[in-house]
Amino acid sequence: MLEIATTLAQRHEVTLLTVGKLDLEILGRFFGLPAQRLKVLSFREHPSALVRNLDRLVCRWPEGNVYKKMFTAIFGPEFVSGYDLFVNGESGDFIRNTAPKGLYLIFFPWLMASSKSPPGLIRRLYRMPYEFWRRRCYRDRWESYGAIYAVSQYSQHHVEATLNRTCGILYPPIDDEFRPLPKANRILMLGRFMDQDEKGQWFGAEQFKRLCQKIPGWELVCAGALWPDKRAKRFFRHLKRSTQGWPIRLLPNLPFADLKTLVGQSKIFWHAMGHGQDLVRHPELAEHFGMPTVECMRAGCVPLAFDGGGQPEIIDSGQSGYVWNKPEMLLDYTLQLARDPERWNRMSKAAMIRGSTFSRGRFQRTIFSAIDELVASR
């Protein structure tokens, strides 16, 4: 959303609607974006004392993000009506658009009937009011938007099937600061450390253990955010214990500058999200697009990604990387690249070319075209 806001701010006055506090200076510095031109409108500026106090309360609740979505959907339309255009781009903030024009960017239709229930009885009971509310309200709110865009063909397919309406595609922009550096014999995995191994780090570690004796001198590095969540911390402790004594490093909450260096120095990127999941019943468990994949490709790191979600749209398998659907395929492709420097060099160059197509310039042209078309419509 910050990318969309800073892009539109080149031609328009733009205000960000937020729950809680938002520091544009920090965000702009972290993402390298000119956020200083934006304005911020917080629910804490609402004239109603009830809304202001609810905003403070909802930010402190356990799993507060769930009820933030409910909160913004209830009170958001009051803020939106005073603007010419409302752009919504969260994965579950179902604010009814009350502006003359509206555009919604959907990462994935999370409210599909098949979506997985959260683990744990207490957690399910806690979320029950939210789950009841969202299933009652979500479908009719899409009708208030003149245009809907998805982040990939994979997401587009499920959005159109769920909402029964046409959906465009707006591929996310990838930071052009990811560049190749002198390479190390390293396999890299990127993704949040999450309970139930949703990003596949545990799977990747177990596969690397099978492989490392065949490629001595190589290491596996898993980097990603570790949130202050008990389940995530427990998963991380177990993963760290299981990888002791192996050439495997875990790097939680790495600063962005260090992450760019890590990506630039790595030779191979593994992506396993969606493997082992029932993607027919739970398609939301596959990667919706795959920004880390493109970031690695732009840095000359050859991707080997599970053949699901948005990954096949990014990788020309056999040219700029490989997609796989069995662990044996992942290991075989890795061995080929590790043992054949010429093959790796050729695919690394192809990955950089392919990754550069998902540029910020392409994103900006698409979003301006979408806005122009929407404004020109009746």
Q: In the prediction, which pLDDT does 63 show?
A: 59
Residue with token string 């982040």 = 151
Which of 41-55, 221-235, 338-352 is modeled with the greatest confidence?
Answer: 338-352
In this structure, what token pair is assigned to residue 80?
């939106």
Say what the pLDDT of residue 113 is.
45
Helix (H) or strand (E) holding 157: helix 153-163
Higher pLDDT pick, 163 / 222: 222
Task: Determine the pLDDT at residue 246.
Answer: 98
DSSP β-bridge partners for residue 327: none
Which phi-psi region, left, alpha or beta, contains residue 63 (left: φ > 0; alpha: ψ -120 to 50)? left
Of 95, 101, 104, which is closest to residue 83 (Cα–Cα)? 101
How many whole angstroms separate alpha carbon 296 and alpha carbon 267? 9
Q: Is the pLDDT of residue 1 over 70?
A: yes
CA distances (Å), origin 264, targets 2, 55, 145, 261, 271: 25, 41, 40, 5, 17
- C-alpha atoms less than 13 angstroms from C-alpha of 198 in its C-beta half-sphere: 17
Specify the residue for token string 């031109």: 37
Q: Residue 298: pLDDT above 60? A: yes
At residue 369, the 3 state secondary structure works out as helix
Residue 299 has pLDDT above 70, yes or no: yes
Beta strands in the chain (DSSP E): 15-18, 39-42, 85-88, 101-106, 147-150, 168-169, 186-190, 219-224, 248-252, 268-271, 302-306, 322-324
Average pLDDT over residues 270-294: 92
Cα–Cα nearest to 75, from 145, 2, 132, 18: 18
DSSP 317: B
pTM of the model: 0.86
What whole-number percentage of the chain has pLDDT above 90? 51
* Contact status, residue 149 vs residue 104, Cβ threshold 8 Å: yes
**Number of CB atoms found within 10 A of residue 329's CB:** 15
Give the pLDDT mean for 104-109: 86
Report the mean per-residue pLDDT for the chain.
87
Give residue 50's pLDDT: 78
Cβ atoms of 50 and 20 closer than 8 Å: no
* Res 354 pLDDT > 60: yes
Q: For residue 366, what pLDDT is reported? A: 92
Strands (E), 68-191: 85-88, 101-106, 147-150, 168-169, 186-190
What is the distance between the alpha carbons of residues 105 and 118, in angstroms, rounded to a whole number? 25
> Which residues partner with 322 through β-bridges?
304
d(CA 288, CA 154): 7
- The tens digit of pLDDT for each residue in 54-80 reads 777 776 665 556 677 777 777 888 888
**pLDDT category, 265, cuts 50, 70, 90?**
very high
pLDDT tens digits, one per residue of 169-224 = 999 988 788 999 999 999 999 999 998 898 999 999 999 999 999 999 999 999 99
Taking the C-alpha atoms of residue 307 and residue 272, their distance in angstroms, rounded to an integer, is 9
